[in-house]
Amino acid sequence: MLLRTTRSFNVILAGKRSFASIASISDHSFPESRNRYQPINFKISENATVMNAIRRLSSSNVGCLVTTDAKGNASGLISERDIINKVGALDRLADEVKICEIATPFNNVVLAKPCDSINDCMSKMIENDIRHLPVVSDNNGVVALLSILDCVKACVEEQDMEIELLSRFSQGLYSVH
């Protein structure tokens, strides 16, 4: 399940501000108590129809899902762009097309690790012109799906924290030890 996070990415380490790694959120988990969003089931069977994917994307208000094979292993990604570009090219209806026919295979997907920083994730997204990044654990299980919006929110909150700290420092409310 994906828990979109915001404040969870901000940390101050030894008095030095830095971006947190994804893993530092809480022992490789994304606890509901630390975010403002509800859990999202971001996985869908590759044998489901594209119409099922459209319904899930719409009901969850997300732009991408991880596809899974019969064993439940990640097999690819399906995004809004895939649906728009590829279903139209097939000249078929969305309820006639299986997700596996249009999904991007997982071996072609750019991935993040829980230890990657938000800056690293944003760089991967920008360099590869993508808007979604699966976060994969050491045993190759998908533990989260980050969107570029998640990363931008984390950056904005990081800047807000920096402004607050600098304001307090300039007012003499913090001292350097």
CATH number at residue 81: 3.10.580.10
Please tell me the pTM assigned to this model: 0.70
Domains contained in the chain, number: 1
Q: CB of 104 within 8 A of CB of 76? A: yes
Residue 26: inside a domain: yes
Per-residue pLDDT tens over the stretch 35-61: 445 677 899 999 999 999 999 999 988
* Per-residue model confidence as pLDDT tens digits over 114-152: 999 988 999 999 999 999 999 998 887 888 899 999 899
- What tokens does 39 get? 């859990």
Q: Which residues contact 161 (CB under 8 A, 6 or more apart)?
A: 10, 12, 17
Residue 177, domain member (yes or no):
no
Asked whether residue 175 is assigned to any structural domain, the reply reads: no
176 within some domain: no
Distance set, CA 41 to CA 45, 119, 132 (Å) = 12, 25, 15
Range of the domain at 122: 7-170
Strand, helix or coil at 134?
A: strand
